[in-house]
Structure 1
C-alpha cells in the first residue's frame, strides 16, 4: 500500500473498521465499535491520487470504478470517515489545493459572470426519464416534509407543498410567482388548492417543456403559466400577491443575494407574502465541495443564515417566520438513493455505468451532509407590512387541515405524471 495512504487512513479511522484491498494486498484500519466497510483500489496510481486530493478524487475514483466498495456502500464509507476526525490527516497537498480553491471561489463571487443558463442546463436538462427513476409521483426535486415521521416519500412531498401553501395564506384570484418552478408540481398544487393564478419561471428548457405539458394535462393552462425567464429581469405589469421559491436559492450565489431580495421587494405587493425554502449550513463556508461543483451543480453554493439575513434586512423586507427542518432532507435523500440504486440498470441504459456511479456518489454525499455535517432546510417567510400575516403560528396548522380536504378532490398526480412521462 502507498505509504502516504496508509498514514492518512491510520490517522483518520479510529472508530469503526475499514478493510482496504490494494493490488499489493490488504490492510485494516480502526479499532472497531462502529461501522465496518471494505473498499478496493483497482490500481496503484489511484492510491496516490486519493491522498493528493481526496476532496475531488474520492468521487472521481469511485465514479471511474477505480475505487470499489466491497462491503457496505458508498454512503457507509463516507459516514465512516465523518464518524472520525479529519483534522490530523491533512497533508500539504490537501492544504494547498484547499487554499487554491478558496481563492478561486472568492474570485468568482467577487467577479460574477452570468452563467445561470449554462449551469442550470448542466443538471436540469438531463433526460427527464432519469429523474423519474427516483423522484416521487409529482417530481418534487427538493426536500420533503416527513410530518408525521415515517410517512412515504409521496406523502412527505405532498406534506411539503401543503406546509408551504399554508404559510402563503393564498386566496382565490391572487397572483403568485414561483421562482424556480422545476417540473411544475408546486405551481399546479397552489393553483388547484387555492384558485390562485400562478406564474412559474425557470431557466431549464426541459423543465419548461414538461411543466407546460403537465398544466395542459391537468386543465390548468389558463391559470398556470410557465416561462423561460431569469428572475433578475422580471418586470411584471403589476406586483405579485405571493412569491414562493423552493430549492432555487442554492443557485443564486453569494454575490447575488442582495439583487435577489431587492428584486423580490420590487415585484411583491405591499401586502404580499413570500416563502423561501432552501438548504442551509451551520457556518459560512468558503468553498463548495469540488466534486459537486465540477460534476453536479456548477456555480452552486449552500449559504449560512448569517449570509442571507443581512441582505433581507437591507432590501427592506421583513422576516415574519423562520423554520428550521434539520433532518428532513436526509430522509428524502435516503429515499432517492435507494430508489435510484434499485433501478440501476435503467439508469445505466439511459447514460452509462460511470454516470450511475457519479449520481450515486452525489446522492450519498448529499445525504451525509445532513446526517453528519449539520446541514438543514430553512423556510423564511417574508412580508413588507407588519400585519400581512397573523401574529401567531396557529394559522399554519389550520390552513393545512383545510388543504387536506381540498387534496381529496384532486386528480391523482400519478396518472398525470405517467401521461406526461410517456410523451417525453
Structure 2
C-alpha cells in the first residue's frame, strides 16, 4: 500500500511553526519563481499574496494550513501533488495546470528553494534496478487499472504514448496513426519479417505492423494482464500473424528481424539499461533494425519527479541521451538515427487532460475524488513539463550493421506517403464495397422511368420514395450512378 503523510491543520496561529514566518517564506520563494502572469496565493493565515506582472489569466490558490505551506516550500516536487490530492492546496481560480505552468515556465529547477534542490540532488544519486518481480508489480500499479478509465481520454486505438502531430489541426486519432506510420517507416518493414514489440500496451502498434508484415509474424509482449486481455480480444481474422504474450523481455528467446519498443523504456530503470540493450542485441538478427521510442530529458542526467514515481509510474526514470547511448554501444550495437520530438507530447497530454476533465464524473464513479485529483495533477504536471521544462521524446533507431539502414532519411517520408496512399485506397474500396451492398436496398427500380437524353447519356427520372432521382449511365464506361434530390446529394 502507498503510504500517505497527513498533517493536522494548523490554522489557529498557536502551532509550533508560526504562520507569519510561513507566509514570509512563501512570499520570498514565489517572488523569485513567478515574475510574469497573475498569481494570488491565500495563506493559511488568510493573507493574500500577489505575484507576477498582472498579465494573463488570473490564477488563485489557497493553503489550508501553515504546515502545508512549509511542505510545499521544502519539497514541492513531491508535496505539491500530495497537498492537492489531500485537499490542503485548493485551486480557487483557474486550474491545477494553470498553477503548475506558472511555476515551471520560469523556474526551470534553478530558482527552487535550496531545500528542494538539495533533496532533488540526493534523489538523483539513488539508482535501483527493476528486477522482474518488481517490474510486474510496477506495471500492474498503473496499467492494470480499469480499462474504462483509459477509454475516457485515449484515442480509439488506445495509444498511450506521444502522438505525432504532422500539422496543428490534426486530431488525436490522426496523430496517433501518424505516430504508428512514422515508427513503421523507421523499422524498414518487409512482408516476411519477424517483429517483436516490447511493451505492446493494448496492441494497436502490433496490429498496425501486422498489416504490413503479411508473410511474417508480430509478437507483442507485456507485463500487464489487463492490457494482454484487451490486446488478444481486439484481434480479428485480419490479424492472423499477430500474437500477444504475458512475458518479461529478459526471459524471451528466439531471433527477430525488427524490434520496436514504445513507452516502455521509462519503466526499465537506469540500473537495468545494460541488461535491456544486451537482451535486445541477443534477440535482434545481425542485419536487424530496432526503434526505441521513449520519454527523455534534454539536459544532464539525474532527476525524475518523485511524486510521479510514487503515485503514477512506480520505478520510473526519465533518461538523458547520454545515459542511453553508452549502453547501446556496450551491447555492440550502433545508433543509426535519433529524432527528438519536443512539443508533440505536450499537445498529446493537453488533449488527454481536456478529455479527462470533460469526463471526470465517470472517472470518479470508477474510483473516487482523491484518485481524480491525482490524475489531474499527473496530466497537468506532465503537460507543463513537456511544454516548459526539459522533457522530450527520443526516437532512436539502432542496428548492428551500418548497411542495415539507407544512407539518407528520404525513405522515412517515402514510406509514410506510400502508407497514406494505401490507407486512402483502402478507405475508397471500403466505401465502394459498402455502396455496392447498400445500393440495391436503397433504390427501388420499379419507380424509375427511363428516357433518352440529348447529350448521349441514358437518364432515368423517378422518386425513392417521394424524392426526385436521376440515374446517369456513361455511354463509354457503362458505369451508372444515382443522383438523389439534387447534385449535392450524390451517392456513387
TM > 0.5: yes
Q: Could you tell me how far apart the structure 1 residues matched to 2:309 and 2:392 are?
A: 19
Which of the residues 129, 142, 148 maps onto 2:167?
148
Deviations 1:160-202 (A, max 9, x none): 0011111111111311000000000000011113424100000
Contact 2:191 2:212 in 1 (8 A): no
* 2:402 is the alignment partner of 1:381: no
**Residue deviations 1:303-346 (CA, integer Å, cap 9, x gap):** 11111111111211122211111110010010100111110100
Q: Structure 1 327/96 Cα, relative in aligned 2: closer, same or farther at 3 Å?
A: closer
* Residue in 1 that maps onto 2:287: 271
Bigger mean CA offset, 337-346 vs 145-154: 145-154
Deviation (angstroms), 1:34: 5.0
What value does the CA root-mean-square deviation take over the aligned residues? 2.1
Counterpart of 1:69 (choices 77, 85, 91) is 91
1:1-400 aligned within 5 A: 2-3=22-23, 4-25=25-46, 26-34=48-56, 36-85=58-107, 87-92=110-115, 94-103=116-125, 105-106=126-127, 108-109=128-129, 114-195=133-214, 196-215=216-235, 218-220=236-238, 222-236=240-254, 239-400=255-416
Cα pair distance change 1:87/1:284, threshold 3 Å: closer
Contact 2:207 2:239 in 1 (8 A): no
Match of 2:373, SS? helix
Contact between 1:284 and 1:307, CA under 8 Å: does it hold in 2? no
Point out where structure 1 has 5 or more consecutive residues left out of the alignment: 413-424
Return 179-188 or 398-407, whichever deviates more: 398-407
Residues 73-116 of structure 1, C-alpha deviations (whole Å, 9 max, x = no match): 11111111123336455144x3553354344x23x25x968510
**Structure 1 residues 3-30: Cα deviation after superposition (integer angstroms, max 9, x where no partner):** 3223322333222221112343222223
Structure 2 counterpart SS, 1:31: coil
Distance 2:414 2:117 in 1: 52
What TM-score do you get using the length of structure 1 for normalisation?
A: 0.90
Deviation sequence 1:335-384 (CA, Å, 0-9, x none): 10011111010010010111011011011111111111132111111112
CA separation of 1:38 and 1:315: change in aligned 2, threshold 3 A:
same
Contact 1:242 1:268 in 2 (8 A): yes
1:220 deviation in Å?
4.4
Counterparts of 1:263 and 1:220 in 2: how far apart (Å)? 31
In terms of fraction of residues, the more helix-rich structure is: 1
Distance in 1 separating the partners of 2:34 and 2:354: 26
Distance (whole Å) between structure 1 residues aligned to residue 259 and residue 135 of structure 2: 20
Conserved 8 A contact 2:250-2:279: yes
**What secondary structure is seen at the aligned counterpart in 1 of 2:92?**
strand
Give the SS at the match of 1:292: helix
Residue correspondences, number: 404
Alignment CA distance shift 1:70-1:315 (3 Å): same
Q: Which moved more, 1:81-90 or 1:148-157?
A: 81-90
Q: What TM-score, normalized by structure 2, do the two folds share? A: 0.78
Encode CA deviations 1:360-410: one digit per residue, 9 max, x unaligned.
Answer: 101111111111113211111111222222211111111112212333437
Instruction: State which structure, 1 or 2, has the greater radius of gyration over its C-alpha atoms.
Output: 2
State how far apart, in whole Å, the 2-side matches of 1:229 and 1:272 are: 22
* Range with greater deviation from structure 2 (76-85 or 2-11): 2-11
Contact 2:288 2:400 in 1 (8 A): yes
Question: 292-301 or 313-322: which moved more?
Answer: 313-322
Separation in structure 2 between the aligned mates of residue 388 and residue 164 of structure 1, nearest angstrom? 16
Greater shift, 205-214 or 33-42, is seen at: 33-42
Alpha-carbon offset, residue 130 of structure 1: 0.5
Point out where structure 2 has 5 or more consecutive residues left out of the alignment. 1-18, 431-492
8 A Cα contact 2:364 2:371, kept in partner? yes
Aligned to 1:416: none
Change (3 A) 1:273 1:300: same
The 2-side partners of 1:46 and 1:353 are apart by 20
